């Protein structure tokens, strides 16, 4: 092998790189919006909107921590993915700004619906408690 060439492995893919002309194609930094392709069941994949929240410089496995929004019928959840050389079933790429705006509106609307639902549940519990205290309090007074 020539002195300026090196074989490197990135997430299971071996590449021969000429170090005199090698350049980085994707640059990521904390706060970047990314799309995450994650294997779910069988041969199905989910595309999730994510944000890089941290780079952890471990000696053996430097890791990128990515916060992703998972949208389901029942609501939205925030999950964290640790992405490193051992990660399987996940790919990432940069997300364009207009793509994230569409996701943001969708997620915030869904979260607001969840907030409204929970607020109605709280109001209902308060009303039931108040009714109970008003109409059943005489049954719990101790006789003197």
Instruction: Say which residues have a Cβ less than 8 Å from residue 50's Cβ, sequence separation at least 6.
Output: 33, 34, 35, 36, 66, 67, 68, 69, 81, 92, 95
Name residues of the chain where pLDDT drops below 70: 1-2, 10-13, 19, 22-26, 75, 97-103, 142-144
Q: Taking the domain 26-136, which CATH number applies? A: 2.30.30
For the chain, the domains span 26-136
pLDDT tens sequence across 46-85: 888 888 899 988 888 889 999 988 777 776 778 899 999 8
Q: Based on the number of CB atoms within 10 Å of its own CB, is 24 exposed (0-12), middle (13-18) or buried (19 or more)?
A: exposed
Q: How many CB atoms lie within 10 A of CB 133?
A: 10
> pTM of the prediction?
0.57
Please report the DSSP string for 74-138 in residue order: TEEEEEEEEESTT--SEEEEE--HHHHHHHHHHHHHHHHHHHHHHHHHHHHHHHHHHHHHHHHGG
């Amino acid at each position: 092998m020539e002195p300026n060439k090196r074989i490197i492995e990135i997430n299971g893919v071996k590449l021969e790189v000429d170090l005199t002309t090698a350049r980085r194609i994707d640059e990521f930094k904390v706060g970047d919006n990314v799309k995450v392709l994650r294997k779910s069941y069988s041969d199905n994949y989910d595309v999730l909107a994510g944000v890089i929240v941290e780079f952890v410089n471990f000696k053996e496995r430097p890791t990128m921590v990515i916060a992703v929004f998972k949208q389901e019928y029942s609501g939205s959840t925030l999950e964290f993915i640790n992405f490193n050389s051992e990660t399987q079933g996940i790919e990432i790429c940069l997300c364009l700004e207009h793509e994230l705006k569409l996701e943001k509106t969708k997620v915030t609307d869904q979260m607001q619906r969840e907030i409204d639902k929970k607020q109605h549940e709280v109001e209902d519990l308060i009303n039931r408690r108040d009714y109970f205290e008003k109409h059943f309090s005489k049954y719990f007074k101790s006789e003197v």
